[in-house]
Chains A and B, each alone.
Chain A
Amino acid sequence: MSEKNIIEINQISKNYERKIALSSLSFVVEKGELIALIGPSGAGKTTLLNLLASILEADSGELLVDGKPMSQFSDQKKRAKKIGIIRQQFDLVGQLPVIHNVLAGRLADWGFFKSLFNLFIPQERQEATTALKRVGLPDKLYERTSNLSGGEQQRVALARLLMQKPEIILADEPVASLDPARADDVLDMLTKLAKEEHQTVIASLHSVDYARKYFTRLIALKNGKLFFDLPADQVTDKQLEELYQLKELS
């Protein structure tokens, strides 16, 4: 086992009742890689990300983070330092002002009284402001989060992740609800910031173009199985065509 492998997935399977979502999937992720998960809907991308975030548990197989099984990360607070996940914009609490949604990224490090006090007098304002500046929302600190547009909310979620500073960032369709210009913006920011902080990113994406543009490695899933796993510049159009084909050619 190499020191550099931050995630190792061995023969992992997951079924929902009778439906197979993932079947004996294996791959290894090195620290600092930018990985896009692609594949038709129902391929198992969300399931895989939820397994990695331990929102779900695998039926069989082995999942190692830093060489240790997931069960050793059962403490919510410790796991939050290792793995962070962003999904779509409904991940934020709409009624809170932006700054509190951003500072929620620090809850893992804060005790109860500090976090309660923070709701009245925001703590670590400097850091929150910096995080919001980095995602391009410097003047929305006290705006009600639900008043922001979809793209802005996604960037607030990103700012929260900056405060959380996990080593691994999981993102499930982070740009599915955004218009193309905003999607470019968010992905550009996500990958750029991750590079700066030497974070590892695994993001599921609808669009192959975005995957190729911003990520270094593409993992394609189809029917819960690995379809290909290649550096972004080695993926051919023919492979992509087969990936998204509805029926297998016989």
Chain B
Amino acid sequence: MLSFDLHKRKFLTVFLLLLFAWSLMGVNWQEGVMHSSGISTAGEIFAAMFTPDLSMDILLLAAESSWLTLAYATAGMSLALILALIFGILASGVLSSGKRSRTLMKGSFRGVLGFMRAIHELVWAWLFVASFGLSPYAAIFALAIPYGGILGRIFADMINDVPEEPIKALRATGASRLQCLFYGYLPSVKNSMISYTMYRYECAVRSSAIMSFVGLGGLGYQIQLSLDDLHYDEVWTFLYFLIILVVIIDGWSNMLRRRMAQ
């Protein structure tokens, strides 16, 4: 049985390698990948890296756009966290009593979470902008749904990985399923939940920046405008602000993690 499994795994590896090779052939390397002046434009863009535009009005614009990007990401992430907690707990099945109702609950809510994250945030953004126009809600929902799906799935898995023994002991002291959730499952996974949410928050900031290409304002939107005007030095100012945002969040999450470890 084991050797058969190993065999299968090797087969899968070879298959994936072939698929990769085939996909490389699928790309048309001759034309279209770079336009004629590509090399020189690339040179200009990277040269501007060292001369970002630091004039007052660009800095102010960058700060304002960063604020917008951060605000979308934060609002989207908060909503995602609420969705993830509700659906994740339901999808873990720890609240249902019977074996059959547990399977049913796990299956259906994992399905919902799967649907939420199957569609990329940019696609959600298109859909929302198409349906209710350029409004902040479009950006927030577009972030909240797929991120809620990802977080919820991870939360459900974390809850399912909690050791059985302390939970059984809680049941034996007379705790109900809901009491077990708050005294057993959630305290056990709280730290990993926070760590993972912070990591996802960082991703949400980057996503939120990109999302603004759809026209929702924010760093991505400014980058696009400056690129269109060939103002590469401004592009770099905005990029540095984005990097600073991500670094700040990373530092914050490290601080949280260190505090939790104590």
Interface-facing stretch out of A105-113, A210-218, A231-239: A105-113
Closest Cβ–Cβ distance, residue A99 to chain B (whole Å): 12
The answer to whether A96 touches B182 (Cβ under 8 A) is no
Question: Do A91 and B165 form a contact, CB below 8 Å, given A96-B187, A100-B183, A107-B183?
Answer: yes
Interface, chain A (partner B; CB < 8 A): 53, 55, 76-77, 79-81, 84-87, 90-96, 100, 104-105, 107-110, 112, 115-116, 119, 157, 160, 164
The answer to whether A84 touches B172 (Cβ under 8 A) is yes
- Which chain B residues in 141-187 approach chain A with CB under 8 Å? 163, 165-166, 168-176, 178-179, 182-184, 187
Cα(A86)–Cα(B165), bound, Å:
11
Cα(A55)–Cα(B174), bound, Å:
13
The answer to whether B174 touches A115 (Cβ under 8 A) is no
The answer to whether A116 touches B173 (Cβ under 8 A) is no
Residues of B within 8 A of A77 (CB): 174, 176
Closest Cβ–Cβ distance, residue B185 to chain A (whole Å): 9
Cα(A96)–Cα(B186), bound, Å:
10
Residues of A within 8 A of B187 (CB): 93, 95-96, 100
Question: Do A96 and B183 form a contact, CB below 8 Å, given A90-B166, A160-B173?
Answer: yes
| Total A-B Cβ pairs within 8 A | 77
The answer to whether B166 touches A115 (Cβ under 8 A) is no
Closest Cβ–Cβ distance, residue B208 to chain A (whole Å): 32
B190 at the interface (CB under 8 A from A): yes
Cα(A110)–Cα(B165), bound, Å:
22
The answer to whether B183 touches A76 (Cβ under 8 A) is no
Question: Do A108 and B173 form a contact, CB below 8 Å, given A115-B182, A116-B182?
Answer: yes
Residues of B within 8 A of A91 (CB): 165-166, 168-169
The answer to whether B175 touches A107 (Cβ under 8 A) is yes
Q: What would 20 more interface pairs be, CB under 8 Å, given A91-B169, A96-B183, A119-B183?
A: A76-B174, A76-B175, A76-B176, A77-B174, A79-B174, A80-B174, A81-B174, A84-B172, A91-B165, A93-B184, A93-B188, A95-B188, A96-B187, A100-B187, A104-B175, A107-B173, A108-B174, A109-B174, A157-B169, A164-B174
- Write the B187-224 contact mask toward A (1 if CB under 8 angstroms, else 0): 11011000000000000000000000000000000000
Residues of A within 8 A of B191 (CB): 95
The answer to whether B165 touches A87 (Cβ under 8 A) is yes
Residues of B within 8 A of A79 (CB): 174
Residues of A within 8 A of B175 (CB): 76, 104, 107-108, 115
The answer to whether A87 touches B169 (Cβ under 8 A) is yes
The answer to whether B172 touches A115 (Cβ under 8 A) is no
6 CB < 8 A contacts A-B: A90-B165, A90-B166, A94-B166, A104-B170, A157-B169, A160-B173
